[in-house]
DNA sequence: CTGTTAGCGCATTCAT
DNA sequence: ATGAATGCGCTAACAG
């Protein structure tokens, strides 16, 4: 049986140091209000007793518990881990802890998590929320909220603009000499998909390159792989896929059909979640999920500090990252 | 400016319902102690006022705050998200919330996180801890702890036995006719790495195949890629990598050097986190991280409930998943 | 600068 | 079955 340390309290430290409890409290929160000698004396006593401030008691007294929540739809989607990591680091810088919630793409679960988190966090970041506008606004009435990839007036939000990067992708292909390309689309209900598809079309038409759309339905490896037949049937010489996972599937499908990349066919992904981890290394549109996480938390902490809600709309531009899956057509 | 709801307290509900505060408290925690009528009356009043129990106050009073912590070395490593997700679901089943910590493979950061979490969680799951045995035992003295992939006597632990799968991997290679293989190792402080390396050696020696070890330091794509030179220099015809990420890096490095897989060289990964998403599809040792997460949390919650620490050692076996990166040597 | 006094919101004796 | 009183550990006025 392992012995568990009991909690030594502020009172014991006070007694040991021969001061009042409030002085001990001050020594830890506002040392500048005390004379340096007493601070050191208190600290020494605290150290000797192994005193550790009780987070919960402090939270009850101050109403601030130094936690923020982060809720994502699917932690297993490689888009999110970098975001979570960045959020964590940013929170850490201000001595905040992150509560992580995973909704599994389920609005009900998301609603439940928000309620459960409220009361133990000072604020919340909702990433790619699947909730209705109404629910989000309702929650925003309960506690400070920051949105990622959701554009609601009056609620601070950080948006990743994949349009800019997709435009660069089309320009890149046009410059290489591709006259006909295909866009391998993602989920029809996805805001990102709409944004990307229309960006492809707009850029293509102004550059006089033809575009066809091939649906992949789900953003996944298998969808991409299954789409290869349809892609090649269009006679296009290049493709831009909804995301990297889809692109990776397309890449594998092309390899199976002995279509060499980038020799016979050029391919571009989106979100750049694979890094250079495919072979050949995938040209992709950068993803800013890391910055999004960092900025969202930073924004939230600002809100908490200033006790005010500013109507921030922080847009992160994306860019094309050229690697080895794009070249001039034969 | 959005209006934020103020916290309605137990007292207000009590007054509205015409009962004592303690009755309201009971209505929420021990309804059986009250007459059904008063319970419903209280509940109605609570509902009307929008009362929500204050988690922090309850925690201070009871010492139980319904949170458990989960600390992982690298959330971006695809090994962990499924584990985190499963842990979350399991915690959720008992109305517990998960605090997630990411150490970035840094023992100091891990130490810091543990201290920071202690005091707001009732217990902790340490996954693939990079801490020394001493530090872990020290922390175990402070709060209930469950380990994943770390084998310390007296501390409840769930171990993914990659040994069984690795053994199958070596047998598979031996059967194909490989006489010399290399093990591409992971972090030296990793329990899994030690286990895998010794499993490779044991199996190889009993099958009379030669083994050399090439270090990759970090479990990452780049480490694997950088190790390719050393791997080929050994003259081996096959490799088993510490994990899939490393293997993927090796795969890319081999492709760059125009070494065809599996024609010229066979490769096996570990953890099977990539599914069939590489090309060629990677042969790998199955991973049980999901079960590990679920079981670890379940164990922890059991400990919390029974207030006792049992010396549990839960072992999950693994197996080889044969795909397309292994074949007979030329 | 430092001690005294009240709470923070709730759970939990102890009465009744 | 219910009310009154006390305390969880700490912070925050308010004095001095």
Find the residue in B nearest to A308 (Cα): B1
Neighbours of A29 (CB within 10 A): 11
For B99, the closest of A5, A99, A119 (CB atoms) is A99
Distance in angstroms (rounded) separating the CA atoms of residues B3 and B170:
64
Which CA distances in Å does A9 have to A34, A63, B61? 20, 20, 15
Write a three-state SS string for B253-295: HHHHCCCCCCCCCEEEEECCCCCCCCCCCCEEECCCHHHHHHH
Find the residue in A nearest to B99 (Cα): A99
Q: The whole model's pTM is what?
A: 0.86
Q: What percent of chain B has pLDDT above 90?
A: 79
Q: What percent of chain A has pLDDT above 70?
A: 97
Residue nearest to nucleotide D2 (CA to C1'): B23
* Residues A168-193 pLDDT 10s: 999 999 999 999 999 999 887 777 88
- pLDDT in the model for residue B24: 96
3-state secondary structure of B232: helix
Nucleotides of C under 7 A from a protein CB: 1-13
- pLDDT in the model for residue B3: 47
* Chain A residues with CB-CB distance to B118 below 8 A: 52
Residue nearest to nucleotide D6 (CA to C1'): B61
- pLDDT in the model for residue B6: 62
Distance in angstroms, CA of A109 to C1' of C11?
30
* Residues B44-90 pLDDT 10s: 999 999 999 999 999 999 989 899 999 999 998 889 999 999 999 99
Nucleotides of D under 7 A from a protein CB: 1-5, 7-13
CB-based contact, B3 to chain A, within 8 Å: yes
* Residues A96-107 pLDDT 10s: 989 889 998 889
Q: What residues of chain B score a pLDDT lower than 50?
A: 1-3
- pLDDT in the model for residue A158: 96
- Tell me if B25 sits within 8 A of B34, measured CB to CB: no
CB-based contact, A76 to chain B, within 8 Å: yes
Nearest nt to B30, CA vs C1'? C11
For A119, the closest of B55, B99, B143 (CB atoms) is B55
- pLDDT in the model for residue A3: 46
Q: How many angstroms separate the CA of residue B17 from the nearest CA in chain A?
A: 24
Residue nearest to nucleotide D1 (CA to C1'): B34
How confident is the prediction for chain A on average, in pLDDT? Answer: 92
Asked if pLDDT for residue A310 goes beyond 80, the answer is no
Residue nearest to nucleotide C7 (CA to C1'): A61
- Tell me if B9 sits within 8 A of B25, measured CB to CB: no
3-state secondary structure of B219: coil
Q: 161-220 in B: which are within 8 Å (CB) of A?
A: none
* Residues A139-160 pLDDT 10s: 998 899 999 999 999 999 999 9
Report CB contact under 8 Å: A117, B97. yes
Asked if pLDDT for residue A223 goes beyond 50, the answer is yes
Strands B210-215 and B180-185: parallel
Strand partners, B67: B97
- Tell me if A134 sits within 8 A of B157, measured CB to CB: no
CB-based contact, A58 to chain B, within 8 Å: no
Give the closest residue to B219 by CA, choosing from B265, B173, B185: B185
Give the closest residue to A69 by CA, choosing from A91, A98, A106: A98
The answer to whether A65 CB is within 7 Å of strand D is no
Q: 151-170 in B: which are within 8 Å (CB) of A?
A: 154
Find the residue in B nearest to A61 (Cα): B57
What is the DSSP secondary structure assignment for residue A4, as one 8-state letter? -
Distance in angstroms (rounded) separating the CA atoms of residues A41 and A38:
5
* Chain A residues with CB-CB distance to B90 below 8 A: none
- Tell me if B251 sits within 8 A of B325, measured CB to CB: yes
* Residues A12-23 pLDDT 10s: 999 999 999 999
Give the closest residue to A198 by CA, choosing from A162, A232, A249, A171: A162
């Amino acid at each position: 049986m392992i012995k568990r340390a009991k909690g030594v309290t502020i009172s014991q430290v006070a007694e040991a140091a021969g001061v009042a409890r409030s002085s001990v409290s001050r020594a830890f929160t506002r040392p500048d209000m005390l004379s340096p000698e007493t601070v050191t004396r208190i600290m020494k006593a605290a150290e000797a007793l192994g005193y550790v401030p009780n987070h919960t008691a402090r939270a009850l007294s101050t109403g601030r518990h130094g936690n923020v929540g982060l809720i994502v739809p699917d932690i297993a989607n490689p888009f999110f881990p970098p975001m979570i990591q960045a959020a964590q680091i940013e929170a850490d810088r201000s001595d905040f802890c992150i509560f992580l919630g995973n909704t599994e793409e389920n609005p009900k679960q998301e609603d439940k998590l928000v309620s459960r988190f409220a009361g133990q966090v000072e604020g919340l970041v909702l990433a790619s929320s699947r909730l209705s506008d109404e629910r989000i606004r309702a929650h925003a009435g309960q506690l400070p909220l920051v949105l990622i990839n959701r554009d609601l007036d009056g609620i601070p939000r950080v948006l990743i603009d994949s349009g800019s990067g997709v435009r660069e992708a089309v320009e890149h292909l046009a410059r290489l000499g591709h006259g006909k390309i295909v866009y391998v689309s993602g989920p029809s209900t996805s805001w990102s998909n709409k944004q990307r598809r229309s960006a492809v079309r707009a850029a293509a038409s102004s550059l006089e390159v033809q575009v066809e759309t091939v649906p992949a339905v789900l953003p996944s490896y298998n969808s991409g792989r299954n789409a290869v037949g349809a892609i090649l049937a269009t006679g296009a010489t290049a493709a831009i896929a909804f995301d990297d996972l889809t692109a990776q599937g397309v890449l594998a499908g092309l390899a199976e059909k002995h279509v060499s990349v980038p020799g016979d066919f050029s391919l571009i992904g989106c979100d750049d979640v694979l890094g250079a981890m495919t072979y050949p290394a995938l040209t992709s549109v950068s993803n800013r999920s890391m910055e999004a996480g960092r900025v969202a938390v930073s924004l939230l902490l600002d809100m908490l500090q200033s006790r005010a809600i500013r109507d921030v709309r922080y847009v992160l531009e994306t860019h094309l990252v050229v690697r080895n899956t794009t070249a001039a057509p034969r």
